Amino acid sequence: MDPAKLPEITVWFDGDCPLCRAEISLYQKLDRTKGRIRFVDLTGDGTCPIDRAAMLARFHAQARGGELVSGARAFGLMWSQVTPFQPLGYLAQWPPLVPVLDWLYGLFLRVRPRLQNWAKAHEER
């Protein structure tokens, strides 16, 4: 395959999570014509560069030829490839802001199970 046509980044997501599915669906629609992102559902047979449980615990992304990142840096990497989120993506990767965003992401992870349960209940309606 032509390297110029390979996606810029790979994003791994939890396909069993209704919140994740909804969010990733939006990004897939926005990226459909550009093809900059390869989305890997961790609940399928998608390969994991690290332990699957660790991948499911936090959001992960990797730029082509780059390091695997998680949390705020992963969101920033993904957003930097998706119009209209690109400005937010570059801001989310700004080193002074990353610790603050990671702290906020940690707070989100604490309430994520409750949000998932709520989303599943509303999805079944």
pTM for this model (two decimals): 0.88
Band of pLDDT at residue 70, cut at 50, 70 and 90: very high
Cβ contact 39:28 at 8 Å: yes
Domains in the chain: how many in total? Answer: 1
CA distance 31 to 48: 22
What percent of the chain shows pLDDT beyond 90?
A: 79
**Tens digit of pLDDT for each residue in 81-117?**
998 999 999 999 999 999 999 999 999 999 998 998 8
